[in-house]
Structures are given as structure tokens and as C-alpha cells.
Amino acid sequence: MAERSFAKEVRKLKLGEGDTFTGEGILALTKALLEAGVGYVGGYQGAPISHLMDVLADAEEILTELGVRYEANASEAAAAAMLAASVHYPIRGAVTFKGPVGVNVASDALANLSSSGVTGGALVIIGEDYGEGSSIMQERSHAFAMKSQMWLLDPRPNLPSIVKSVHQGFELSEASNTPVMLMVRIRSCHVTGSFAAKDNKRPPFTVRDALANPRSDYARVVLPPMSYLQEHDKINNRWPAALTYIREHKLNEVFGPSEAPVGIVLQGGMYNGVIRALQRLGLADIHGDTEIPLYVLNVTYPLVPDEFFAFCEGKSAVLVVEEGQPEFIEQSLGLALYKAGSSIALHGKDMLPMAGEYTGQVMLDGLEAFLKKAAPELLPARLRAPNSDHKPALPDLSRTVPMRPPGFCTGCPERPIFAAIKLTEMERGRHQIAGDIGCHLFATLPPFEIGGSTMGYGLGPASNAAFDGGGDKRSISILGDGGFWHNGLSSSIGNAVYNKSDGVIVIVDNFYSAATGGQDILSSRADNASKATGHPIADAVKGVGVKWVRQLDRTYDVPKMREILNEALTTDHVGPKVIIASSECMLNKQRREKPLMAKAIKEGRRVEKPRFGVDEDICTGDHACIRLSGCPSLSLKKLDDPLRDDPVASIDQSCVGCGNCGEVADAAVLCPSFYRADVVHNPGWAERKFGALRHRIITWLQTRRSSGRLEFVRT
Amino acid sequence: MASMTHSAFTPKPQDPALDQIIKLAIMAVGGQGGGVLTNWVEDCARSNGYAVQATSVAGVAQRTGATIYYMEMAPLRDRAPVFSLLPAAGDVDILVAAEMMEAGRAIMRGFVTPDRTTLIASSHRALAVSEKMVPGDGIADSQEVIAAAEIAARRFIAFDMEKMAIDAGSMISASLFGALAGSGALPFDRSSFEAAIKASGRGVEASLRAFAAGFEAAANGTVETPRSGRIKTVAGAPSGPKPLVDRWNALAARATALPDPVRDMALTGLRAVVDFQDLDYGRDYLDRVEKVLAEDDPAKGHELTLEAAKYIAKAMAYDDVFRVADLKTRGSRFARVRGEIAPAKGAQMKLTEFMHPRAEEVVGMMPARLGRRLSASERAMRLIDRLVNKGRRLRTDRLLPFAQLYVLGGLRKYRRGTLRHAIETQHLEDWLAQALAYRRIDYALGVETLRNRRLVKGYSDTHARGLSKFDRVMDGVALLAGRDDAAHWCRLLREAALADEKGEQLEGALKTVRSFASQAETALPN
């Protein structure tokens, strides 16, 4: 069960001819796949296309009705490999994952797929995670398209364009026997808008039909000598076929006047940003009608040279707007112009920055700089004069406003694991610790600062391999359950067993692929109607030969976690020491339990609800507890007490009573100011009576003491 | 190539329709319901005949990190408008900040400009980890953001929308939506905003309450800035047996007789120490304060006595086992917990305390002589530790655990004879004597030395670390006494000590102090 449910939204997938679809980009993509008669879909979750996987999962019933197979693949490599079904069979297939990390993982399958070539349209929908809010290294998927020769679509970021490019992508793929990557940037995945819906189409040839009529052709197999032939086929047949299709079906678009001194060449995804900059420069209207001609590359690979030359004709300069680096498009266009002996001025990364997101200001500055140089007469007078803007001086807030990176959620079960590791390090000194991909990577940030690297999904323990031989202190590596099943079991655990690693491996098992939005995985505890869950990580680990395995079923037990860590760091066992720390992701747990609890209370059943608090008189404001927590619900407040210099700890009503505060106060011998209050809703008769009696006696004792001494009521 | 070409270039005036695009950015902290708010605004705009586009950056940014939602809208026409997918500096009409520092971040990023931006900010704070983990006070100053907002924004509306939402039993997204509606920045009427909430179908009633509260406050143009400084607590009359109250009044009169700047602080301090122990202890406190006063300089505004009144009280009302047990079992504390947790009517409440005594605490409760002998013996300490050192969870809503703490709290009568008291008193006297000694050569240094007491806080290891920081700062100060800038350096050392847990900054500052102290040694006359 994923964090966000699309159960309501997927009804929109049933819209037909004459209806207008209004909604989010990813949902539009799914609808477009169904309208295009896709035969099978799959993928692996990750921002920004996690929700696309969630939509597919929630739409499984609709998919099945149409005869479409949906697979939640084990990794991007598995997803890309699934496209093999389109090699021999005339079935359209689509998979989705994030770029470029997903493409990295999938590259083996993608390269083989590209070499074989396809019969049915094969579409890889890449959620490009570049710019603000991205969680990964900043690279481009473009390079993969070039090296494996897959076509790359980068449609304008509005729903009709995205939907159209799905249809065009399949057709282009089939026309050129080449797989196609369709790139959607992070914001276009979540952009809202409308498009005219069409009827869904059953795949004319289904995967079941294929099973009934198997085919194979060794010419498609990547093995000498066929692989040499495939390489020539790419250049001699598939490439020209693609150019013809792109040209004839007008996949790229030209906007603006047919004659102008300058023009702009841009990736489709940059269109809205370029138009906004032109609007601000007074060179485009609200509908995007522009005074500067635009050549919009909805296909960024391959480029169509004759289209480009036609666009350049009569112009003295063109600007290439291409986000990210290296500037593959600008380089290709420059080479083409040079070989054609053209004298047109080519601008690009000299006007716009080489690295980083092309935000509104960057785009405005870049276009203004280009026009100032190439065609200043087009700019309004106010922009030609230097420094016409007068901005008020603002106080510098850079030292005031704190950074706010993502962190563990309220009540996260991973927090106590890292509190235990921090306490262990306080006792035994610092260790070499390697992180992995997942929520647990937030432990590298304050207040924990545990782990100094992340090498890839499921590769945490593998990235400590150089230290497998052991030394004065053992290395520790972290691996999440998502990473474990993605790649970790073989690349990390198997690797450690085989090499007799001396290291300690902590597997953080929170029952979901949590960082990507709580999708189920093999070891999930929840029942899933269409997937097999409930396969324990411990069994898998033992299965590949790990002998020293410790399973902790309540990560909030900090003393126990410390004890296990200490044992792992000191045992004379040879081979990897694997600790599996399991507790359910709190975000998902709350989402599951909160409504049930509310219902139970309403129905009059007995329910206990825990919450923590801090006695402000006892807290001295040293914040040691926060340095072992960082929980959003554990914050500070300033008391109206002139004797207090420092703010005291305080827990707000968002506390879910996970227990970390009490455990840490206990394990670290912090202070006695925490308390836990369990509210018992609908207590039984005896409980009520006893409670009342106890309350009376306690109150009597309290009154007795306070009547004998001075007490001050705080005002 | 698809072509939508039109005739050759003719310069034309800027499209006036562009001015109808409303650009709205929401800066929030993950988990505040920014997505819900975005959907509401979208629905509301669509129902008013607007073309709308919204985008967000989901993913890890939502895990408690700073995140941004952006939308543009314009009256619907025959052709679709082209909207931007991300906000640009200097080009935002409405900026909704769901937290005060996020408003600051928006200003820093240039999204708030005086020519166009209406800034609607919730004045509450959701503290960042970097603010909370500092051992001292690391909380960022909202006043600086407010000062900047008043310059940067065309209109600035700020009040605590978080509290408003909680009071209404809803989420801040609802009160923010109300504030947005009430600000009049969007050309839609109130009922269409409310219709969007109703259409969403979950927690509608509570959301509408929070919406209404936000609407009213914003419609009135509220700029409710957080309190600057603290409210002075007024010493209320104590409750208790008449003879004790009479004696208290006499002591209070003695405190009231102190010079004006010291009076309030001395009364507060007096209350704290009497609450900690008894009236005699209060008398000791005033004796100490008056001793400092005798050496003070009225020309300096009695700063020395003021700080003494504050920190002597803190030093005398130290945190020991009796104190914790007493506080935990008081009726007023039970009432406060009940108020904070607010159990529903008919519900019961269990209460668990987390105690972790060590041998040090046990020995500290013993008579001084016995305690000293035991703590000198490693074997004895180890044995006691083995007996007591473990986490103990006490259910103080139950009779037996309550009685345990109640009895412990009652033992405070014997506190004066304990080892802990002897140690604390010695430390207090040494520190006070040192401060007065410094005062005689350098008034400001005397004041700063008193303030160093702030470093001693916490329990067990944290307390030990605080004491060690205090000692190290005092050692550093000793090198500087007599210099013109000694007080300045004393303050810097203390601030460095409060900046991080391990005292790394303090170590750096001490290094600097040592280097110039040794250089200047020969140059100093005394």
C-alpha cells in the first residue's frame, strides 16, 4: 500500500472520446498509454515517477480488464529487461523509472534492447530528477540515449503535448525499430492541466497471445556476428527511418515569425520557461505567441539537421537553450553548422550557465544577454539602458534563516537505530560507516551525522568492501529493505559472505520501500492482493550464507539495539555480522492505524493512545535529547521565566508516542524530564473505578503536602 | 516541423493580458498539507472561470524539509495560456509562507518584491534541527524576518495560523487558505473558497472553522508579530499556612527593599529557592545577594547584583533527586500534564516517568561524610551502580510508584546534610568569591563571571560536561583578568561553549585566548 492513494483519481482513466481529462501529469501519462493500446507496463518507483507506479498499481483492475499486464519490477534493470517482449512480438510496452539513476541501473538491459531492436513500440518513461528538490546527483539521461542509440523525447510540459508524445513515441519506436525514451521533468510530472480524452484501446496483440504463439529470431540476439550487423542496422536503417518519421510527423515544432534576425532552439521541456522569459521581455503574449522564432525540440535525440538549417536561414544568430551538462545538443548543432560552412553565430552555454536548473531568473538573464548581444533592437528601451531597476536594500537574512533539509518523520523507527549507533560511537569511538539510498541516508545529517558516503541503491555494504579484511575497528554499513531487494542481496550481502567480510551490516527494515512513497516489497508485512509479500529478510540473508544474524523486532528498543551492536563489533565470528532492525514506517503505520483507531474510539471500544511530554520545570535546556533525536515533534519553547536563559524541550500534539524519547533518555542517562501519557479511551468499569480511587488517594496526598508548605502559583 | 508561424516581426506593445496572470507560490515545510492547499486554490480558481496550472516538487523534500508549491492562473480564454512551471524572483504576486523562516527563505530568494507581492505568513515557528540541537539558545530571530518582510512585501499579513488551525481541530492548510481568501489577493468571493473545502470531503467542518478564523484575521489586515522579549512574571502571593505566609511576606519585603533594577529578579529568585527548599533557604539567598550588593556600584545600574540575584538562585535551586521527585509528584504538575495532554471526557490517563539513577545520585543523597567515603571507594561505587543503575519506568498514576517518589520528595527536609548539597554549596561559594574578586579589578568581568553559571545545567553526563565547560571557561578567564577586554573575551568564551555539544568551538576560542595571553604576559604591568 503506497503512501498516496490514487484510487479516486484512476477513475479518470476510464474517460473516453469526447470527455475532457483534468488532472496531474503522471495520470495523463497513464491515460495516454491506455489510449495507445499498450500491452504491458512496469517500472520501479523513485521521484518524480513514484506516483506513476502508484497510479499503475491502483489502476491494476482497469489494466487487467483491458488485457494489459502490470508488473512491479524488482529494479530498473528488471523493468528495462521486460521490454524484451517487444523485441519479437508486435506488442507495445512501457516501463518507467527515474533518471538518470534508474537508467544507470537499467543500462545493461537498455543497451541490449537497443542493439536487438524492437518490433512493438518500446517506451521508457524517464522522470528526470534535475534541479530543486532533487534527491540525487545531477546528471543527464541524454548521454544514455546517445550511447545506446535510443531516441529521446522531451515534450513541452503541458498535458496535451505529453499525451501526444506518448502516441508519437510508440509510433516512432515502431517506425525505426528502436526503443524510445520519453523524458518528463520533475515539475511536469506533477503539473496539472487538461486534455481531450480518447477511448482506451485493447492491445491488438496481447502478452497472452504471445505466450500462445512463441517467436524467436537469432538475428535479434546480441551475439557475434549478429551484434556487428545490429550496429550497422542502427546507422543504415533505424537512424534514417527515425529522421523521416520525425520530419514527416512534425514532432519538432516551430513558433513565431518566419523572418527574424535571431532565433532560439530549445528542448521541449524548456518551452514554458523560455516563453515566460520572453513574456517578461515584452516579446511574447499570454498564449505564447512570440516575436522571436522558436525551434522546439520535442525530440532531443536524434537531431534533424535539415530542419535546423531551415530554421537558421536568414538569421544572424541562434541561442540553444539546453539544461544540464555536457551541452550535447549545442555541440552537435555547432558541428553541423561548422561542417556546412555556416557563418551564423551559435550561442548557448556562453549566455546560460553550464550547470544547474534553468530557473525563471536564469532564463530571463540568459535570454536578455543573448538579445542584447545579437539583436538589441528587439528589446524594449527600458531593458537597453543599464541598471534601470531600483531595488530596495533588504536586510541580509542568510545568517538568520536556517537550512531545512529533509529528515526523519515524526516517530520514524529509523531514528532510534541511529540514536543507538551514535551512543555506541560515543562509547567505542568513531567507526568507518557507509550509507545507502533511502530515508536512512538522512542519518548523515545533523543531529546524527552517521555515514559518509552513498554509492548507489543496495550498495552500502559493497561500498565498504575495501575494509572487509578488518582492522582495529570494524566497519559498519547501512542498507535499507528497499535497497536490499533491489540489488543488496547479491551485490552487498553475497559479496560480503564470499569475501568473508569482517564488517557489520545494519539492515533497516521498515516494511516498505518508504523513501519512494511506501510501495510494497518482498518483505512487506501487509497482505497485497496481487503481489507476494511476507518473505523475511532474515531468511534471505541466511539463504546466501550469513551465519551471524540478529533480528530486532522493535527498533525503539535502544538499549537492545546497543547491545546487539556491541556484540557485532566485538564477536570473534568470522564473516559478515548482519543486524536486521525492523519496525514499520511510521508515516504508513499512522495512515493505516489512525482511521481504525478513530473508528474504534467512536464505537466505544477501549483504545490506548500514547504521547510524550516534557516537564518544563525539570528540563534544564541543554537539548541533549534533541541531539539524539531531531524529531519534528520534539522542539523547544521559551519560558516566561527570567531565571531561564535557554529554551526548554517541548513536545507538541503531533507526537505519535513512538517511544524514542523515553528510550533515549534511559539509554543515554539523560534527564528525568520526559513522561509518557497514555490516554485510555473508553476504559472498562473496573478500570474506571480503580482509576478514580487511585486518583482520590493521590490527590489527597498532594493536597496534604501542599497545605503544609508554601507553594507558588505561576502567573 | 509543425508551424504556427505568423507574419514578419512587427514590434507591438506588451500584451495587457499578461498582467492578468496571478502567480502564487506556497513555501512550506513537508507535512504541512501544502498539497491540499494547492488543490483547494486550484478548484476555487477553476470554478471561477480561470485557467490554472499547479506544480510541486514531491519526493524527499516532503520528509520534513522545505518545499515549494507553485501555481499560475488567468481568466479562461479561447486559447490556452502558457504558464511557467516555477516561480521567478521578482515575479510572484502572492507568496504564502506556512512558517516564519520559510517567509524569510522566500524573501532571500527574491520571491517577495515591493512592486507586487502580497506576503501571507504564519508567524509561528517550526524549528529546524540546527536551531534545536545547540546546547544554548540557537533559535533564529523572527524579528529579523519581519523587518525584512515589511520592506520587501507590497502587503504583509502575518499571524499564528498554526495555533488557529489547532484550536479549530484542523490543519494549517485550512487557516492559510482562509488567510489567502481574507487577504483579497485573489479575485474570488468567500463562498467559492468554502465550496472548494466542502468539495474535498474530509474534515470539512473543522477546516471551515480554521478557514473562517484565518479569513477574519487576514481581512482585518492583521500583522501580529511574535512577542519580543519575555513577559516579566509578577510574584503572586503564595498559598500555604498563615505563619509561613507571614514569614514569606517579611522576606519578600526584604527583597522589595533592594534597588529598583534588582527587585523583580530577587523576588523571582527568592521564590525559586523557597520553592526548592524552605524559608530559611530564602534567607540565605537574600544574605548572599545583599553581600554582592554591598560591593556593587550604583553608577553601573547594579548590573552585578542583578546577575547575582539570577544566578545565585539558579545555583541554589540545583537539580537533585529530591527536587525531581518533588516536582513530579505535585498536584500542580499533574494538572499541567492533564492540560497539555487534554484527555477526552471519560478517558483515563496513565503516566510513566523515565528515571535512570546512577551511583552518583544515590551517594549524593547520603549524609555528606558517608557519601564522601563511599564515593572515594571505587569498589563501593561499582557495587551501588550494579544495584541501581538501570532505566526505571515509574507509573506515577499508580499508588506504589507514586508513593516512592512522594517519599523521596518529602526527604528534601534532610537535603542540607547531603553530600550533593555540600558539593553544590562549595561550588557556589567558590564561584561567587571568584566573581567578587574579579569585580574588584574589573566590574564588567565580575558580571560576566556570574553569567558563566549558565553553563552548568543538565543531568549526569550532560551536567558533567557543563561543569567541565564552566571550569575551562573560568581557566581561560584567569589568563585574561586585568586586561581591558577580559569581559568581552569571557562572554565570547561562554558563547562558544554554548554553541556545540563537545565544546569544539570553545577549544578553538581558548586556543586564541592562550596565544595572546602568553604574548602579552610580559607586557602586562601586573
Average pLDDT of the residues in A305-322:
97
ipTM over 0.90: yes
Closest residue to A688, CB basis, from B132, B348, B459? B348
Distance CA A124, CA A182 (A): 6
User: A527-584 pLDDT, tens per residue?
Assistant: 888 899 999 999 999 999 999 999 999 999 999 999 999 999 999 999 999 999 999 9
pLDDT at A469 over 90: yes
Average pLDDT of the residues in A354-362:
95
pLDDT at B463: 92
**Distance, C-alpha B437 to centroid of its chain:** 34
Confidence band, pLDDT 50/70/90 cuts, at residue A1: low
Per CB-CB distance under 8 Å, the chain B contacts of A27 are none
Question: In chain A, which segments carry CATH 3.30.70?
Answer: 606-707
pLDDT at A486 over 60: yes
Average pLDDT of the residues in A63-69:
95
Q: By 3-state DSSP, what share of chain B in percent is helix, strand and coil, each rounded to 5? A: 60, 10, 30
**Distance, C-alpha A4 to centroid of its chain:** 14
Q: Classify the C-alpha dihedral A159-A162-A167-A168 as positive or negative.
A: positive
Report the residue of chain B nearest A291, measured CA to CA.
Answer: B9
pLDDT at B235 over 70: no
Distance in Å, alpha carbon of B108 to nearest chain A alpha carbon = 7
Closest residue to A392, CB basis, from B114, B265, B314? B114
* CA-based radius of gyration for chain A: 30
Distance CA A34, CA A199 (A): 8
Task: Answer yes or no: are the C-beta atoms of B47 and B102 closer than 8 Å.
Answer: no
Confidence band, pLDDT 50/70/90 cuts, at residue B5: very low
pLDDT at B372: 96
CB atoms within 10 A of CB B201: 8
Closest residue to B1, CB basis, from A307, A408, A608? A307
Question: In chain A, which segments carry CATH 3.40.50.970?
Answer: 9-248, 414-588
| Of residues A195, A350, A187, the one with CA closest to residue A270 | A187
pLDDT at A680 over 80: yes
Report the residue of chain A nearest B320, measured CA to CA.
Answer: A618
Residues 409-428 of A with CB under 8 A from B: 409-410
pLDDT at B3: 47
User: B256-302 pLDDT, tens per residue?
Assistant: 999 998 999 999 999 999 999 999 999 999 999 999 999 999 999 99
pLDDT at A361: 93
Confidence band, pLDDT 50/70/90 cuts, at residue A133: confident
What rounded mean pLDDT belongs to chain B? 91
Distance CA A176, CA A182 (A): 15
- The four Cα atoms B387, B390, B395, B399 give a dihedral, to 10 degrees, of 10
Per CB-CB distance under 8 Å, the chain B contacts of A689 are none
pLDDT at A34 over 70: yes
Cell of A488: 543488496
Distance CA B449, CA B494 (A): 10
pLDDT at B229 over 70: no
Q: Classify the C-alpha dihedral B480-B483-B487-B489 as positive or negative.
A: negative
pLDDT at A14: 94
Confidence band, pLDDT 50/70/90 cuts, at residue B513: very high
Domain boundaries, chain B: 18-219, 242-316, 444-520
Assign a CATH topology to domain A253-381.
Rossmann fold (3.40.50)
pLDDT at B231: 45
Confidence band, pLDDT 50/70/90 cuts, at residue B226: low
User: B174-187 pLDDT, tens per residue?
Assistant: 999 999 999 999 99
Confidence band, pLDDT 50/70/90 cuts, at residue A384: low
pLDDT at B462: 87
Distance in Å, alpha carbon of A534 to nearest chain B alpha carbon = 26
User: A603-626 pLDDT, tens per residue?
Assistant: 999 999 999 999 999 999 999 999
| DSSP per-residue string spanning B433-473 | HHHHHHHHH-HHHHHHHHHGGGG--SSHHHHHHHHHHHHHH
Per CB-CB distance under 8 Å, the chain A contacts of B466 are 622
Query: For cell 468571493, what's the residue?
Result: B189
Cell of B167: 484550536
Comparing A53-57, A544-548, B31-35, the range with the smallest average pLDDT is B31-35
Question: In chain A, which segments carry CATH 3.40.50.920?
Answer: 253-381
Average pLDDT of the residues in B164-172:
94
Average pLDDT of the residues in A486-510:
97
Per CB-CB distance under 8 Å, the chain A contacts of B241 are 707-709
- Reported as type and span, the H/E element at residue A600 is helix A586-602
Report the residue of chain A nearest B389, measured CA to CA.
Answer: A669
| Residue of A669, A696, A703 best to disrupt the B interface, most CBs of B under 10 A | A669
Distance CA A24, CA B56 (A): 11
pLDDT at B10: 45
**Per the CB < 8 Å rule, is A285 touching B31?**
no
- The four Cα atoms A583, A585, A590, A591 give a dihedral, to 10 degrees, of -140
CB contacts < 8 A (A, B)? 450
Average pLDDT of the residues in A389-412:
87
Assign a CATH topology to domain A414-588.
Rossmann fold (3.40.50)
The type of residue at B368 is: A
pLDDT at B501: 87
pLDDT at B67: 85
What's the half-sphere exposure (Cβ side, CA atoms, 13 Å) at A419? 33
pLDDT at B523: 52
Geometric angle at alpha carbon B176, from B173 and B177, rounded to 5°:
85
Closest residue to A646, CB basis, from B8, B136, B265? B136
Closest residue to A643, CB basis, from B234, B272, B458? B272
Cell of A692: 478514580
Comparing A241-250, A341-350, A435-444, B509-518, the range with the smallest average pLDDT is B509-518
pLDDT at A385: 59
pLDDT at B64: 74
Distance in Å, alpha carbon of B196 to nearest chain A alpha carbon = 16
Confidence band, pLDDT 50/70/90 cuts, at residue B148: very high
**Per the CB < 8 Å rule, is A286 touching B81?**
yes
Q: What percent of chain A stands above pLDDT 90?
A: 89
Q: Classify the C-alpha dihedral A435-A440-A442-A447 as positive or negative.
A: negative
Distance CA A94, CA A165 (A): 13
Task: Answer yes or no: are the C-beta atoms of B274 and B281 closer than 8 Å.
Answer: yes
- pLDDT top residue among B229 and B111: B111
Task: Answer yes or no: are the C-beta atoms of A551 and A538 closer than 8 Å.
Answer: yes
**Per the CB < 8 Å rule, is A618 touching B324?**
yes
**Per the CB < 8 Å rule, is A646 touching B137?**
yes
Query: Coil, helix or strand for A326?
Result: coil
Distance in Å, alpha carbon of B162 to nearest chain A alpha carbon = 12
pLDDT at A415: 97
- Reported as type and span, the H/E element at residue B149 is helix B142-152
Comparing A33-42, A159-168, A512-521, the range with the smallest average pLDDT is A512-521
Average pLDDT of the residues in B324-352:
94
Closest residue to A404, CB basis, from B65, B136, B328? B65
The architecture CATH gives domain A9-248: 3-Layer(aba) Sandwich (3.40)
pLDDT at A392 over 80: no
Query: For cell 532505566, what's the residue?
Result: B391
A543 touches chain B (CB under 8 A): no
Q: By 3-state DSSP, what share of chain A in percent is helix, strand and coil, each rounded to 5? A: 40, 15, 40
The architecture CATH gives domain A606-707: 2-Layer Sandwich (3.30)
pLDDT at B59 over 60: no
Distance in Å, alpha carbon of A537 to nearest chain B alpha carbon = 25
**Per the CB < 8 Å rule, is B63 touching A409?**
yes
pLDDT at B521: 57
Average pLDDT of the residues in A496-508:
98
Whole-structure pTM over 0.90, yes or no? yes
What rounded mean pLDDT belongs to chain A? 95
Task: Answer yes or no: are the C-beta atoms of B112 and B152 closer than 8 Å.
Answer: yes
Distance in Å, alpha carbon of B101 to nearest chain A alpha carbon = 6
| Of residues A605, A611, A649, the one with CA closest to residue A627 | A649
3-state secondary structure A582-598: ECCCHHHHHHHHHHHHH
Average pLDDT of the residues in A391-409:
88
CATH homologous superfamily for the domain B18-219? Pyruvate-ferredoxin oxidoreductase, PFOR, domain III (3.40.920.10)
Report in angstroms the alpha-carbon separations of A21 from A607, B46, B208, B224, B377. Answer: 43, 14, 29, 43, 81
**Per the CB < 8 Å rule, is A683 touching B327?**
no
Distance CA A440, CA B285 (A): 51
- DSSP, res A711: B
Burial class (CB in 10 A: 0-12, 13-18, 19+), B124: buried
**Distance, C-alpha A387 to centroid of its chain:** 41
User: A618-652 pLDDT, tens per residue?
Assistant: 999 999 999 999 999 999 999 989 999 999 999 99
Comparing B211-220, B226-235, B314-323, B450-459, the range with the smallest average pLDDT is B226-235
pLDDT at B56 over 90: no
Confidence band, pLDDT 50/70/90 cuts, at residue B333: very high
Distance CA A487, CA A642 (A): 57
Q: B446-482 in b/e burial notation, b at 16+ Cβ within 10 A?
A: bbbbbbbbbbbbbbbebbebbeebbebbbebbebbbe
pLDDT at A715: 47
The type of residue at A542 is: K
- DSSP, res B204: H
Q: A33-42 in b/e burial notation, b at 16+ Cβ within 10 A?
A: bbbbbbbbbb
Comparing A217-226, A386-395, B400-409, the range with the smallest average pLDDT is A386-395
Which residues 6+ apart lie within 8 Å of B427 measured at CB?
Answer: B315, B456
Distance CA B267, CA B309 (A): 9
pLDDT at B233 over 60: no
Confidence band, pLDDT 50/70/90 cuts, at residue A393: confident
User: A688-703 pLDDT, tens per residue?
Assistant: 999 999 999 999 999 9
Average pLDDT of the residues in B76-84:
94
| Of residues A47, A26, A140, the one with CA closest to residue A98 | A47
